[in-house]
Amino acid sequence: MTEDLDPIRNVQVISTGTVDIHPQHAYGSRTPSYWWILTSRRWLTSRPINVFVIEHRDGLVLFDTGQDRASVTDRDYFPSGPLGWFYARLARFNIEPHETLPAQLEQIGYAASDVEVAVLSHLHQDHIGGLPHLQGTRIVIADTEYAMLNSRLDEARGVLSRHIDLPGLEWDQIRFQPLDDPDIAPFTHGVDLMSDRSMILLPTPGHTPGSLSMLVRRPGHDPLLMVGDLTYDAAAMQHDHVLPGVGSHRQLQESTRQVLELQRRHPGLRILGAHDPAAQAALTSPHQQHSPAA
Ligand SMILES: [Zn+2]
């Protein structure tokens, strides 16, 4: 591939407000998650709610869609009763009028109606918030994640189906297939999003059963891996193998192992979390020479 064969023109990140979470959420805990969610008095400093914006030759692509401002202005957005209290204990949001998905896109010269494809890393509220603005967009989701929609206990599992299953949305449920692409190893399965190998969706379950990541490859650029909520701190994951405290620990461990192995094979790989304060700098820092891994 040469530079002029690069179908991607630009990759940017915007944020739909900020979220506060507990340290146990980001860095794990010895106690069960329900316990620290109910009792933790500590909150980390506010983190971004990242939406990655990829300008592709065939149209604008989003990775995740952020949190809906209605969640802080509409008192009926979250479930009521004990479940609502649980949601309030899990995360605190701040979203100003200029931080909605359409407003953030406008600041970089786009309208929500320009979005051709929106990939959802998973179905939690802070990743699906832009859906009301994405009628006519191809909404891509792993079939295993989509299965949680309108399922029993969906809200207890963090899936607010009534804000996701909206009229007019065009869902594209994907199933991971064996991919003949040695550069994604140790991953063996994936989905080639635009059929040109520039963006590959990879299964990284753990945070939720159908969580996925997206590998973005461009000639002359370090590869990017957008990982959703697989990690809240890529540096801690890389250097200390720290895992978050939410989701299936066993699956988080296995997905993290695969991501770190992918990075060992591609030392320039930049791991971009949805709420990692370092993700923006990781995306925009200049390309460096990397010696191949031994
Ligand atoms: Zn999230």
Domain ranges of the chain: 3-284
Q: How far is the CA of 197 from the centre of ligand 1 (A)?
A: 26
| Token pair in block for residue 138 | 């191809």
How far, in Å, CA of 49 to CA of 127, rounded?
Answer: 8
- What φ, ψ does residue 59 adopt, rounded to 5°? 140, 175
Q: What per-residue confidence (pLDDT) applies to 294?
A: 45
Q: How far is the CA of 93 from the centre of ligand 1 (A)?
A: 11
Q: How far is the CA of 99 from the centre of ligand 1 (A)?
A: 16
Q: How far is the CA of 220 from the centre of ligand 1 (A)?
A: 30
Q: How far is the CA of 122 from the centre of ligand 1 (A)?
A: 8
The pairs formed by 192-196 with CB atoms below 8 angstroms and a separation of 24 or more are: 193/61, 193/117, 193/119, 193/140, 194/7, 194/56, 194/58, 194/61, 194/117, 196/7
Q: What per-residue confidence (pLDDT) applies to 31?
A: 84
pLDDT in tens, the chain (294 residues): 444 689 999 999 999 999 999 988 899 888 888 888 888 889 999 999 999 999 999 999 999 999 999 999 999 999 999 999 989 999 999 999 999 999 999 999 999 999 999 999 999 999 999 999 999 999 999 999 999 999 999 999 999 999 999 999 999 999 999 999 999 999 999 999 999 999 999 999 999 999 999 999 999 999 999 999 999 999 999 887 889 888 899 999 999 999 999 999 999 999 999 999 999 999 999 876 665 554
**Pairing relationship of beta strands 115-119 and 138-142 according to DSSP bridges:** parallel
Q: What per-residue confidence (pLDDT) applies to 1?
A: 47
Q: How far is the CA of 3 from the centre of ligand 1 (A)?
A: 34
Superfamily of domain covering 3-284 = Ribonuclease Z/Hydroxyacylglutathione hydrolase-like (3.60.15.10)
Q: How far is the CA of 292 from the centre of ligand 1 (A)?
A: 32
> What dihedral angle (degrees, nearest 10) is formed by the CA atoms of 221, 227, 231, 233?
30
Q: How far is the CA of 19 from the centre of ligand 1 (A)?
A: 9
DSSP β-bridge partners for residue 48: 18
Q: What per-residue confidence (pLDDT) applies to 168?
A: 93
Q: How far is the CA of 271 from the centre of ligand 1 (A)?
A: 15
Look at residues 259, 243, 270, 210 and name the one whose alpha carbon lies nearest to residue 26: 243
Q: How far is the CA of 59 from the centre of ligand 1 (A)?
A: 25
Q: How far is the CA of 15 from the centre of ligand 1 (A)?
A: 12
Q: How far is the CA of 11 from the centre of ligand 1 (A)?
A: 20
Q: How far is the CA of 180 from the centre of ligand 1 (A)?
A: 31
Q: How far is the CA of 190 from the centre of ligand 1 (A)?
A: 22
Q: How far is the CA of 214 from the centre of ligand 1 (A)?
A: 15
Q: How far is the CA of 127 from the centre of ligand 1 (A)?
A: 6
pTM of the model: 0.94
Q: What per-residue confidence (pLDDT) applies to 259?
A: 98
Q: How far is the CA of 261 from the centre of ligand 1 (A)?
A: 23
